[in-house]
Structure 1
Amino acid sequence: MDDVFRALADPTRRSLLDELFKQDGQTLSALEARVPMTRFGVMKHLKVLEEAHLVVTRKHGREKLHFLNAVPIRLIHDRWVSKFAEPWVAALSDLKHDLEERKMEKVYEIYIKTTPERLWEAITNTDMRAKYTFGVRVVSEFAPGSSYVGRANPPGQADELTIVEGENLEVDPPRRLVQSFRALWSDDVKSEGTSRVTWEIEPVGDSCQLTVIHDQLREGANAELYGGWPMVLSGLKTLLETGELLTTPGSLRYASGGAASCH
């Protein structure tokens, strides 16, 4: 977390994060045009943000795109925001998010001290998944072309609700999982149609770098589709590294955006 706080201490770096929040997936040239600084200066600041894992990059053809990674900020939130304040903080965060522009691709990155095999198990095992996806149980054979479905019992309801469904497009254990994703928990998200979620696991020393890409989202897609990812990935890290569950509560609506998409 020290790297995160150092990165956030500089107003220029915060401005770069603001620009990526407004429009994710920007090139160096696009970001350079938005801040009063030389290209070299912007590169230096982006390097600091990347080292703190607040920004991740992906190649699209010949272009290198920069994406805001909210997971480290979520980890700080989970450490210090009390479970009693969480509903108020989440409500205000959701309100701000709803007022901002959403793009077609979201990228999240986190480092977890575990093995690729154990991480793959946590992603694909029904009982383990339910521990960090707020009770959403995802059932599938996890074979290429197979289907999956995620269900949960919402508070105050006796009947089980289908949260999400889709198809396993690529299955390469324990390295890569690509799935189509169709949200079903409300009429608003049902109208968004089908998007795609990719899990990429890369071993790094005694840990794993986990990158989650949620793409093929329509321009201005409902934030519920992807808004829960930082909370879910934070819960996954906590579970694998400590064996414990996060105490911060998540409503079914908020958690579904990431929990269900962790199929």
Structure 2
Amino acid sequence: MDEVFRALADPTRRALLDALFTEDGQTLTALEGRVQMTRFGVMKHLRVLEEAGVVTTRKQGREKLHFLNPVPVRLVHDRWVSKYAEPWAATLSGLKSYLEDEDMSTVKTVSWEQGTAPVAAGTAVFEVYIKTTPERLWEAITDPQQRAIYSFGVGVQSDWTTGSDYVAGVPGTVDISKGTNVEVDPPRLLVQTFEALWSDEVRAQGTTRVTWQIVPVGTSCRLTVIHDGLPDQANPELYGGWPMILSGLKTLLETGESLDTPGSLMY
């Protein structure tokens, strides 16, 4: 958390995050045009943001794309805001306003989904470090009982073999999603098609793809969730719940407890 606070303390770094909030998946050249600074200076600031985890990168051909990763901000919120601030304990104001440290009394409070950055490139990337083993993390992702704890009651049923189907939902209450397990390589990689079911609006968005990548880092794991194949001007509900889910997953594996954030904000 110290690294996150340090990253957000600099106005140039906040401006870079604002730029990614407006349009995710930008190259270094594109971001250089957003601030009055040399290319080397922008690279130094991006390095700080990457080290704090609030920016993550992906290679696309010869280009390196930068993505806003809201998970660390969500964790800061859960640790330092939610237990002190009511009644918006489980909400965030628009991320741009939050990072610029504007006077909260003048900012309209919106839900996390409403404050999620637009996905112009058709891809949303979320990353979190969890102190656990790859096997334990894989189990938490695929076990329906554990999944329901950090997904606010939403369990996932599947035999977790390549080509098999899966369904997710709250039994007897609501269907959340369904799809196919395109690639299953435990405890390293899970690639799934994703068809949202919880409302007519998200059903109309069509089928997208979710990739879970687990990489051991010392005694921890880096979990990256890539939600791609998103349509132009995708409904933020499709991908807006990931920061909350990953925060809950990290909390469960590291503390054995669940977050108090109500699941009604996710859908």
- If the length of structure 2 is used for normalisation, what is the TM-score? 0.89
- Aligned twin of 2:51: 51
Please, which of 210, 223, 228 is the counterpart of residue 236 of structure 2? 223
Give the percent of matched residue pairs that are identical in Structure 1 and Structure 2. Answer: 64
Offset at 1:22?
0.5
Residue pair 2:24, 2:118 contacting (<8 A) in 1 also: no
The one-letter code sitting in structure 1 at the alignment partner of 2:161 is A
Q: CA deviation at 1:161?
A: 2.0
- CA displacement 1:25-69 (0-9 Å, x = unmatched): 000000001111100000000000000011001000010000000
Q: After alignment, is 215-224 or 102-111 more displaced?
A: 102-111
Q: What secondary structure, in the 3-state scheme, does the structure 2 residue paired with 1:76 have?
A: helix
User: Secondary structure of 1:19's partner?
Assistant: helix
Is the counterpart of residue 198 in structure 1 residue 211 in structure 2?
yes
Residue 130 of structure 1 is matched in structure 2 by 148
CA apart distance, 1:124: 0.3
What's 2:159 paired with?
A: 141
More helix, by proportion: 1
Query: Does the 8 Å CA contact 1:109/1:209 hold for their aligned counterparts?
Result: yes
Root-mean-square deviation (CA), in Å?
1.6
Cα displacement (A) at 1:79: 1.1
Q: Report deviation, 1:87.
A: 5.2
Q: Which amino acid letter does the alignment assign opposite residue 41 of structure 1? A: G
From the superposition, tell whether residues 95 and 53 of structure 1 become closer, same or farther in structure 2 (CA, over 3 Å). closer
SS in 2 for 1:97: coil
Who is 1:111 aligned against?
129
Question: Given the alignment of the two structures, is residue 6 of structure 1 paired with residue 6 of structure 2, yes or no?
Answer: yes
Change in Cα spacing, 1:88 to 1:178, as seen in structure 2 (3 Å) is closer
Gaps (5+ residues) in structure 2?
Answer: 94-108
Q: Is the 8 A contact 2:113 2:266 kept in 1?
A: no
Q: 1:88 deviation in Å?
A: 5.6
Corresponding residue to 2:188 among 172, 175, 192: 175
**1:225 Cα offset (Å):** 0.5
Q: Which residue number in structure 2 is paired with residue 261 of structure 1?
A: none
| Distance in 2 of aligned mates of 1:88 and 1:246 | 13
- Does 2:210 match 1:212? no
* CA shift for structure 1 position 133: 0.3
Show CA shifts across 1:145-197 (max 9, x none).
000001215xxxxx432110000000000000000000000000000000000
Runs of 4+ in 1 over 6 A off after TM superposition: none
Number of equivalenced pairs = 248
- SS state at 1:66 partner: strand
How do residues 28-67 of structure 1 correspond to structure 2 at under 5 angstroms?
A: 28-67=28-67
Partner AA of 1:40 in structure 2: F
Give 1:93 shift: 3.8
TM-score (norm 1): 0.90
Q: 1:120 aligns with which of 138, 142, 146?
A: 138
CA distance in 1, matches of 2:217, 2:119: 31
Mapping 1:83-94, distance limit 5 Å: 84-86=87-89, 89=92, 92-94=110-112
Q: Distance in 1 between matches of 2:91 and 2:128?
A: 26
1:25 aligns with 2:43: no
Pair 3,27 (structure 1): closer, same or farther in 2 beyond 3 Å: same
